[in-house]
């Protein structure tokens, strides 16, 4: 299966003498991707297996050396520790192995909150973080050899739009079934909430977390602050902020913030929340109807496109920050991408007056371009 990040992953593994930390939601294909890159050159340890968990939790150089040195001597140059967030101290574990040159280490995890924070101190200057997401539309289309994704001729456009509508409906997890998506997504949601979040002791009441998820599922792309969210789910502000942090770190939702620079009337203390996978969102509201029959098709399309930009931006190391722009005078732009002195703009409703207002304000400070065709933009082979 084609994955856009694969070539860059190969270069990082071959050229960087550092611990690679690969994170991403459950079932996005982290281990499958690594196996396709590493072939027979690696040994895999699943920390769900208590034997391996106890071994790596020992933090013993003597034990590590006696077990890992023969692996390296046999010609296996890399170990992959799957679900490393379940270790007591994954950072220190990897540091011991790395600093003593026992073998090259790759950590994978399905919770960035746990694994990233718990490797930061021990692996300072010693690690590289990579995030793997559900498939992009570009990756799906690359599987179809008869389609040139960036050539949107009439025939290709019809096929691409059919794929797009289906992926917005059921999501883009690699193993999703178009016939029974609700079965797969039910298992996925339970795995994330029960196996990861509850297992790690991050929350006590899963029903409160699910209520918050359903709230976000019904307010996709709505610019809002924490206070109205806490009122909507009847939870304290502190609890809502904590839960949002967990959901973002578990790759379920993410937020984009308001762009603020020169104008006093720019709104920046609120956020828009989106789902990393629209199929999971549709599961939460129990609605898998075709887009043509839905009142929420515009918000679903917006969610899908912005997520595609986020994924391809990260895979290509493009460094673009993503914002929306909103003023108290009523101006609104859905997508503002900023890197250095360059800005790209796009509005789903094509409202030109807001675009003109932004350009008038910032033309002397930034090089500003307006994205004309958003579908063509997210399917470019040579991304930003």
Of 96, 111, 131, the residue that ends a domain is 131
Q: Given strand 42-46, what is the order of strands in its sheet?
A: 42-46, 78-82, 104-109, 19-23, 127-131
Residue 354 maps to a domain = yes
Instruction: State the average pLDDT over residues 85-90.
Output: 90
Tell which of 108, 131, 154 closes a domain.
Answer: 131
For residue 66, the domain's CATH number is 3.40.50.300
| Residues belonging to the chain | 384
Query: Is it the case that residue 197 has pLDDT exceeding 90?
Result: no
Residue 94 CA to residue 19 CA, distance in Å, equals 7
174-195: average pLDDT: 83
Average pLDDT estimate for 119-132: 83
Q: Which distant-in-sequence residues (6+ apart) come within 8 Å of 349 by Cβ? A: 334
28 and 83 assigned to the same domain: yes
Per-residue pLDDT at 112? 62
Confidence of residue 351 (pLDDT cuts 50, 70, 90): confident
128 phi and psi angles, rounded to 5 deg: -130, 130
Confirm if 43 and 71 have CB atoms less than 8 A apart: yes
Q: What is the mean pLDDT of residues 89-100?
A: 94
* Residues 105 and 215 grouped into a single domain: no
Q: Do residues 108 and 188 both lie within one domain?
A: no
> Under a CB-based contact definition with an 8 Å cutoff, are residues 12 and 130 in contact?
yes
Residue 119: pLDDT band (50, 70, 90) is low
Residue 383 counted as domain residue: no
Domain of 268: which CATH number?
A: 1.10.10.10
- pLDDT of 188 reads 87
218 and 121 within one domain? no
Residue 205: predicted pLDDT: 76
Same domain? For 65 and 197 the reply is: no
pLDDT value at position 204? Answer: 74
Residues 312 and 222 placed together within one structural domain of the fold: yes
97-111, 185-199, 346-360: which range is least confident on average?
185-199
Please state the separation of Cα 383 from the chain's center in Å: 18
> Could you give the number of structural domains in the chain?
2
CA separation for the pair 160, 109 (Å, rounded): 32
Q: Which of 34-48, 153-167, 265-279, 341-355 has the lowest mean pLDDT?
A: 153-167
Q: How far apart are CA 152 and CA 118, in angstroms?
A: 45
Q: Is pTM beyond 0.85 here?
A: yes
202 and 175 within one domain: yes
pLDDT on residue 113: 57
Residue 292 and residue 252 in one domain: yes
Nearest CA-CA partner of 335 in 355, 353, 315, 318: 355
Whether residue 28 lies inside any domain: the answer is yes
Give the span between the Cα atoms of 124 and 18, in whole angstroms.
10
The percentage of the chain sitting over the pLDDT mark of 90, rounded to a whole number, equals 71
- 122 pLDDT above the threshold of 90: no
Looking at the chain, the whole-number percentage of residues with pLDDT higher than 70 is 92
Residue 384 belongs to a domain: no
Same domain as 112, residue 187? no
Q: What is the pLDDT of residue 206?
A: 82
In the sheet that holds 332-339, the strands lie side by side as 271-275, 253-258, 321-326, 332-339, 342-346, 367-370
Same domain, 95 and 180: no
Q: Are residues 181 and 77 in the same domain?
A: no
Q: Are residues 201 and 256 in the same domain?
A: yes
Chain segment 42-55, per-residue pLDDT in tens: 999 999 999 999 99
340 in any annotated domain: yes
Both tokens assigned to 350: 């094509």
Residue 14's domain comprises 6-131
pLDDT for 157 equals 79
19-36 residue pLDDT tens = 999 999 889 999 999 999
Predicted pLDDT of residue 1: 85
Tokens coding 246 = 């967990």
Cα 195 to Cα 120, 203, 277, distances in angstroms: 24, 12, 19
**Lookup result for tokens 């019809």:** 158
Nearest to 24 by CA among 16, 33, 13, 12: 33
Question: Is 381 or 165 the better-scoring residue by pLDDT?
Answer: 165
């Amino acid at each position: 299966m084609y994955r856009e990040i694969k070539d860059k992953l190969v270069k990082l593994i071959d050229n960087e003498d550092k611990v690679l930390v690969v994170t991403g939601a459950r079932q996005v294909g982290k281990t499958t991707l690594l196996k396709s890159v590493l072939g027979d050159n690696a040994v895999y340890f699943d920390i769900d297996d208590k034997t391996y968990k106890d071994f790596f939790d020992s933090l013993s150089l003597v034990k590590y050396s006696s077990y890992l040195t023969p692996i390296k001597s046999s010609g296996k140059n890399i170990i992959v520790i799957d679900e490393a967030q379940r270790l007591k101290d994954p950072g220190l574990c990897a540091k011991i192995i790395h600093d003593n040159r026992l073998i090259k280490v790759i950590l994978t995890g399905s919770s960035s909150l746990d694994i990233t924070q718990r490797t930061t101190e021990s692996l300072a200057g010693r690690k590289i973080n990579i995030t793997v997401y559900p498939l992009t539309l570009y990756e799906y289309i690359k599987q179809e050899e008869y389609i040139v994704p960036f050539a949107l001729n009439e025939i290709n456009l019809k096929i691409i739009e059919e794929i797009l509508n289906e992926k917005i409906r059921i999501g883009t997890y690699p193993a999703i079934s178009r016939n029974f998506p609700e079965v797969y997504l039910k298992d996925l949601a339970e795995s994330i909430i029960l196996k990861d979040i509850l297992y790690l002791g991050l929350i006590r009441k899963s029903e409160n977390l699910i209520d918050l998820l359903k709230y976000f599922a019904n307010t996709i792309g709505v610019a809002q602050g924490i206070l109205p969210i806490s009122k909507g789910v009847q939870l304290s502000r502190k609890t809502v902020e904590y839960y949002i942090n967990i959901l973002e770190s578990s790759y379920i939702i993410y937020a984009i913030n308001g762009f603020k620079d020169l104008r006093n009337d720019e709104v920046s203390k609120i956020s828009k929340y989106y789902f990393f996978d629209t199929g999971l969102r549709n599961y939460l509201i129990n609605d898998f109807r075709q887009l043509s029959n839905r009142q929420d098709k515009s918000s679903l399309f917006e969610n899908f496109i912005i997520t595609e930009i986020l994924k391809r931006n990260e895979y290509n190391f493009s460094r673009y920050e993503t914002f929306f722009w909103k003023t108290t005078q009523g101006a609104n732009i859905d997508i503002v991408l900023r890197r250095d002195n360059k800005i790209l703009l796009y509005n789903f409703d094509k409202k030109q007056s807001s675009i003109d207002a932004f350009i008038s304000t910032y033309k002397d400070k930034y090089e500003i371009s307006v994205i004309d065709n958003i579908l063509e933009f997210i399917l470019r082979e040579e991304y930003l």
